[in-house]
Chain A
């Protein structure tokens, strides 16, 4: 009997190690070849990649319509911003703290609503995202700084020896985070947890009837997705040195949604491509000036007309043959 080879990196990307190494070198060499401006574009590509990966767990793997993911991102960013500026806690320590805060928030918010179906869940997540944003604007307990946000967030550092303060270092920080996430998530995809998620997406009743605790796995997806978004928020906050509510609008949630769908639901390379499309597109079309968002909207429609399954959908069952 043939035994299926269980996941190596080639199982995730479906291409050979050489291509993978090539990409790695490209990503590694990129910041040394271009100006700071383009390094920063690379950084935001990384942020969107991380956000895309985090939403991909909820939307791509489990099929839950989450249009309020910016809320979790905001919780992560503001946790870092507030604890750093008010209590002076170092950014690196706040990284897991932000992830935990976002995860805890997701757990508390999603527990009572996790049984909602499809679009009802969708509007609740939208509402949740809006509540977070409006709360930040309203400056409760004088913590969030209202519409102006919080200023003066530190660089990530370990003592004085290792300080991340240049564009290049931030670039590597975010991409290391992305790489680690991909590593963990691709392993989850190939585990009973990943399969349980996909089963729920495919047919919730059948999943239940096959012994999958639907509620638990949905919550797990939300909590994990929120934690990753919290990490993205932490890195984003320290890079910009300030956070304000306008970075966490409904529009931001929509962008994440598009990243997952443009790339292909549940596909990790798809998320990277989707994130590239969303973060690089406005740059490429800068010459179009005020018409560029028109082109952007048109591209989104065309993309879905011609590749409704995304650019790089997840392929299954290849190595089983």
Chain B
């Protein structure tokens, strides 16, 4: 039984990574109906930035504030940098294409993704990089016989905290209402005086920033990072987005968590090699029976 709980906790940890990345996909999709293929690479770039910051910034920050301080500093700086990158990509690769419809934007997004990936490769090299073990807290806990690391606990708490804050912003504040309104009908929202550019600014800073944060967490959790990791995580996160119902933020979070848990349980009880097949099969099954995702709206199409 402990093993099941441990797998579920591992699953929730990975799931919260997927969920946080999925939030970025979902926000952009909700407002622009654009699948932002570069989003996974924001995450990867964030992870590499965090790596560099930890290594080079550690002497200073870590000596002042300790291990945890160094970690938090790395996350914050990476998130802020990626917010700028996100806005830059939006301005250069997406903004000029909005009027042309959705498909050209997919190609442009793929182009942006290739560029980001290769920027990482050119700067950090094509080989794996490893987060330095000595800079990451490594404390194990035993709760009712269930094994859990403090890092895992921190990741989980932080993810849930971020998700809760974002949920609050989107669902309870006026600005959140503006975002939701823009997602439903951009033109009408604009007529109601909603500043669409502000909404875009928000989603293209917050999304990549969350991605970067997740990138640093993944780096610390798995230690190993590679320049192609953006695609793998991006694909999973996108799957989570769809599983939850595209454009639906709480759906994306739950989609991520469900995906992570399924993946871990699949790895433990079916086969580690087939776990991703298992995950995609579940996704397809869900979509066959609920064509708009688990939490997607099922309203009839207006004719």
Q: Do A and B bind each other?
A: yes
Q: Are B238 and A123 neighbours in the complex by a CB distance under 8 Å? A: yes
A297 near B: Cβ within 8 Å?
Answer: yes
Q: Are A301 and B100 neighbours in the complex by a CB distance under 8 Å? A: no
**Majority SS at the chain B contact face:** helix
Contacts A138-B274, A296-B114, A301-B93 hold; do A265 and B103 have CB atoms under 8 A apart? yes
Q: Which residue of A lies closest to B100 (CB)?
A: A308
A120 near B: Cβ within 8 Å?
Answer: yes
> Using Cβ atoms and an 8 Å threshold, which residues of chain B touch A296?
111, 114
Q: Are B284 and A299 neighbours in the complex by a CB distance under 8 Å? A: no
Q: Are B280 and A304 neighbours in the complex by a CB distance under 8 Å? A: no
Q: Are A123 and B106 neighbours in the complex by a CB distance under 8 Å? A: no
Residues of B222-269 whose CB lies within 8 A of A: 231, 235, 238-239, 242, 246
Q: Which residue of A lies closest to B273 (CB)?
A: A138
Map CB proximity to B onto A282-321 as digits: 1 under 8 Å, 0 otherwise: 0000000011011011111101110011000000000000
> Using Cβ atoms and an 8 Å threshold, which residues of chain B touch A251?
231
Interface Cβ pair total, 8 Å cutoff? 125
A173 near B: Cβ within 8 Å?
Answer: no
Contacts A117-B291, A297-B111, A297-B115 hold; do A127 and B104 have CB atoms under 8 A apart? no
Map CB proximity to A onto B18-48 as digits: 1 under 8 Å, 0 otherwise: 0000000000010000010100000000000
Q: Are A135 and B107 neighbours in the complex by a CB distance under 8 Å? A: no
Among B29, B37, B231, B284, max chain A CB count under 10 A is at: B284
- Which of A16-24, A49-57, A232-240, A254-262 is the interface stretch? A254-262
Q: Select B107's contact among A115, A116, A262, beta carbons within 8 Å.
A: A262
Q: Select B118's contact among A112, A254, A297, A303, beta carbons within 8 Å.
A: A297
> Using Cβ atoms and an 8 Å threshold, which residues of chain A touch B110?
254, 257-258, 297, 300
Cβ distance B231 to chain A, nearest Cβ, rounded Å: 7
Q: Are A304 and B118 neighbours in the complex by a CB distance under 8 Å? A: no
Q: Are A120 and B107 neighbours in the complex by a CB distance under 8 Å? A: no
> Using Cβ atoms and an 8 Å threshold, which residues of chain A touch B93?
301
Cβ distance B281 to chain A, nearest Cβ, rounded Å: 7
A10 near B: Cβ within 8 Å?
Answer: no
Q: Which residue of A lies closest to B102 (CB)?
A: A118
A250 near B: Cβ within 8 Å?
Answer: yes
Map CB proximity to A onto B263-303 as digits: 1 under 8 Å, 0 otherwise: 00000000001101100110110011001110000000101
A205 near B: Cβ within 8 Å?
Answer: yes
Q: Are A304 and B111 neighbours in the complex by a CB distance under 8 Å? A: yes
In Å, the complex CA distance between A124 and B289 comes to 13
> Using Cβ atoms and an 8 Å threshold, which residues of chain A touch B216?
none
Q: Are A120 and B287 neighbours in the complex by a CB distance under 8 Å? A: yes
In Å, the complex CA distance between A138 and B105 comes to 34
B129 near A: Cβ within 8 Å?
Answer: no
Residues of A218-268 whose CB lies within 8 A of B: 250-251, 254, 257-258, 261-262, 265
Q: Are A294 and B119 neighbours in the complex by a CB distance under 8 Å? A: yes
> Using Cβ atoms and an 8 Å threshold, which residues of chain B touch A124?
283-284, 287
Q: Are A261 and B115 neighbours in the complex by a CB distance under 8 Å? A: no
Q: Are B280 and A303 neighbours in the complex by a CB distance under 8 Å? A: no
Cβ distance A104 to chain B, nearest Cβ, rounded Å: 18
Q: Which residue of A lies closest to B289 (CB)?
A: A112
Contacts A138-B273, A205-B301 hold; do A128 and B112 have CB atoms under 8 A apart? no
In Å, the complex CA distance between A113 and B285 comes to 9
Q: Which residue of A lies closest to B247 (CB)?
A: A119
Q: Are B35 and A119 neighbours in the complex by a CB distance under 8 Å? A: yes
A41 near B: Cβ within 8 Å?
Answer: no
Cβ distance A276 to chain B, nearest Cβ, rounded Å: 16
Q: Which residue of B lies closest to A249 (CB)?
A: B231
Contacts A119-B29, A297-B113 hold; do A127 and B106 have CB atoms under 8 A apart? no
Q: Are B103 and A261 neighbours in the complex by a CB distance under 8 Å? A: yes
In Å, the complex CA distance between A137 and B271 comes to 14
Q: Which residue of A lies closest to B115 (CB)?
A: A297
Among A137, A257, A298, max chain B CB count under 10 A is at: A298
> Using Cβ atoms and an 8 Å threshold, which residues of chain A touch B151?
none
> Using Cβ atoms and an 8 Å threshold, which residues of chain A touch B35?
119, 122
Cβ distance B23 to chain A, nearest Cβ, rounded Å: 17
> Using Cβ atoms and an 8 Å threshold, which residues of chain A touch B283?
123-124, 127
> Using Cβ atoms and an 8 Å threshold, which residues of chain B touch A214?
none
> Using Cβ atoms and an 8 Å threshold, which residues of chain A touch B118?
290-291, 293-294, 297
B96 near A: Cβ within 8 Å?
Answer: yes
Q: Are A305 and B277 neighbours in the complex by a CB distance under 8 Å? A: no
Q: Are B287 and A304 neighbours in the complex by a CB distance under 8 Å? A: no
In Å, the complex CA distance between A261 and B109 comes to 13
> Using Cβ atoms and an 8 Å threshold, which residues of chain A touch B276?
130, 134
A-B contact pairs, 8 of them (CB 8 A): A120-B242, A126-B238, A126-B239, A130-B276, A250-B235, A293-B118, A300-B107, A304-B105
Interface of A with B (CB < 8 Å)?
A: 112-113, 115-117, 119-120, 122-124, 126-128, 130-131, 134-135, 137-138, 205, 250-251, 254, 257-258, 261-262, 265, 290-291, 293-294, 296-301, 303-305, 308-309
Given contacts A116-B287, A127-B281, A301-B92, 14 further A-B contacts (CB under 8 A): A120-B293, A123-B287, A131-B280, A257-B107, A258-B110, A261-B107, A293-B121, A294-B119, A301-B108, A304-B100, A304-B104, A304-B107, A304-B111, A305-B108
